[in-house]
A and B are shown apart, each in its own frame.
Chain A
Amino acid sequence: MRRYLRLHRIFVVQYLKRLMEYKVDFLLGAFGLLISQAIQILFLGVIFSQIPDLQGWTFEEIMFIFGFSLIPKSIDHLLFDNLWMVGYRIVRKGEFDKYLTRPINSLFHVLVENFCVDAFGEMLTCVLLLGYAIPRLNLPFYWYTIPALIVVVIFATMIYTSLKIMTAAISFWTKASGHIIHMLYMTNDFSKYPVTIYNKAVQTVITYVIPFAFTAYFPASWFLTGKDPLFCIGGTVIAGTVLMAIALFVWNRGVNAYESAGS
């Protein structure tokens, strides 16, 4: 474990050195994400200029859920973005050989190799949104609010990462799966709004099948109201754990099925 932590630091430092070469590009990437979030908030602003609340949710509450959804999303984006490359390129081009020849776990190596600083754009939006919403909301505060937040963020991030691991691992059989990662990943946008606005079918899917609702709406609603802690917080923990177990299983099977690119 110690060794892995040390290796992680070395990888990040390596990445930051590469990054300093392309400062402008980094700023553009982060700025792009910031703008794309800002436009969605502008859209919500236009809506709320005409209606007092959205099916019982106030503007501040919607901002809180929206901002909350960006916490696990941006952490996963920052740390584990390299999985996209597995789906798009690494397996298809046979570059995965490299990871198999190293004396560390292949999944660990893939995860820590890249450090996607574009995610700072999302993090900044997240801080701005929560900074706007929290003082305007009368949130219940208990001694266990902060520990609960930490637990939720860890497991919600695991939901993101394990869904990406699973879909990236499909490429071990099909050579490329970037489009499948994309398809599943895009479902996360449903979690930005209260699930009560969707119909039953969509609610069921994003709660029990692709449980992105546990990355934002359910935990956020607990922080907002203090109701249903068992389902809102417990659900996130269970969803994160189960998905990660499945993801590791699929990944390990996939690595065994990997047959390089030949040549």
Chain B
Amino acid sequence: MSRMKHFLRTYKPFTRAGVQEMIAYRANFICFFIGEIMSAFIMYFVWKAVFLSSDSESFMGFTMEDMVVYLFIAFLTDYLTYSDGAFAVGEEIIDGSIAMRMIRPCSFEMCFLFQELGNRLISFAMIFVPLVGGVEIYRYAVTGAIRLDPLCFVLYLISTVIAYMISFYFNVCYGFMAFFFKNLWGTTLLKETVVSFLSGGAIPLAFLPSGLAFVLDILPFASLRYTPIMLYMGMYSPAQIAWHLALQLFWLLVMIGVSKLIWRSAVKHLSVQGG
């Protein structure tokens, strides 16, 4: 118990710094958010046109209502699980300031994690209610009934937290690799597009050929975004829920393991000149 207390006392200041940083730059955040959410609205109009042009009520098993929920919850999940806190690792290795982190009496990834949690907390506070509220009002207006299932909602929250942790450790690994590349803009764009596609950000995985969809469902990327969305929408049976949550935990452990390995070998090869 006291160890837990000590742990929290050590890292609480990082979270506070993250919160303050986010509040200081909230105008930037909101502008970025508006810029990004426009793509979700474009997709909304595209889907509306698709359903108007199609004779049937559903498109490959998705109704217009499902599609709207999918688009906006995918967008929300992407924002909540976004992680770039560890991105600075690469830069710190190059300029040597990583040495400062190594002599501190705290773990390097925990510092990043708790600082970013502060960031996520504020973005959660700013966008979660408007997005979920908007989606549910839309569903109520279309169907005339409250469609949000509390159990699905709780499962979504649990799954999103795991997804964030996977995303965090995945990006720690990426941060280590990024320092080989100079064009971070291009590399990051490439990574984010590929991850977004593989995690169902562009198209629901269910729309892909069944063999491909099956493989992508098992890969870690689905755990980042697709699983939480499907849970929110109540698309899974109890057995599928258990399987997908277990799969998420499995990938989380793998990512933690890989990031630890990379960190260890990086420390061994690290040489910081001067100081």
**Interface residues of A, Cβ cutoff 8 Å to B:** 22, 24-26, 28-33, 35-36, 39-40, 42-43, 46-47, 50-55, 118, 176, 178-180, 182-187, 189-190, 192-193, 197-199, 202
Contact = CB atoms under 8 A, between A and B. Distances in A.
28 contacts: A24-B181, A25-B187, A28-B186, A28-B187, A29-B185, A29-B189, A31-B186, A32-B190, A32-B191, A35-B193, A35-B194, A47-B46, A52-B53, A54-B46, A54-B49, A54-B50, A55-B52, A179-B27, A179-B28, A180-B31, A183-B31, A186-B39, A187-B38, A189-B38, A189-B42, A190-B38, A190-B42, A197-B46
Contacts of A22: 182-183
A52 B50 CA distance: 10
A40 B42 CA distance: 12
B38 A55 contact: no
Contact of B53 (A32, A39, A55): A55
Interface in B24-67: 27-29, 31-32, 34-36, 38-39, 41-42, 45-46, 48-50, 52-54, 59-60
Interface residue tally on B, bucketed by range? 35 or more
B197 interface: yes
Nearest to B52: A55
B43 to A, nearest CB: 9
Contacts of B202: 39-40, 42-43
Contact of A36 (B31, B53, B189): B189
Contacts of A26: 183, 186
Contacts of B28: 176, 178-179
Contacts of B250: none
Contacts of A185: 35
Nearest to A46: B207
Given A39-B197, A43-B202, A182 B185 contact: no
B32 A179 contact: yes
A40 B29 CA distance: 26
**Main SS at interface, chain A:** helix
B186 A55 contact: no
Interface of B: 27-29, 31-32, 34-36, 38-39, 41-42, 45-46, 48-50, 52-54, 59-60, 181-183, 185-191, 193-194, 196-197, 202-203, 207-208
Contact of B190 (A35, A50, A179, A190): A35
Contact of A193 (B46, B52, B207): B46
A199 B39 contact: no
A148 B27 CA distance: 41
Contacts of A183: 31-32, 34-35
B35 A186 contact: yes
Contact of B187 (A32, A190, A199): A32
A47 B59 CA distance: 9
B183 A29 contact: yes
B42 A28 contact: no
Nearest to B56: A50
B45 A199 contact: yes
Contact of A189 (B39, B53, B191, B207): B39
A182 B190 contact: no
B32 A182 contact: yes
Contact of B183 (A25, A36, A198): A25
B272 to A, nearest CB: 24
Contacts of B59: 50
A118 B38 contact: no
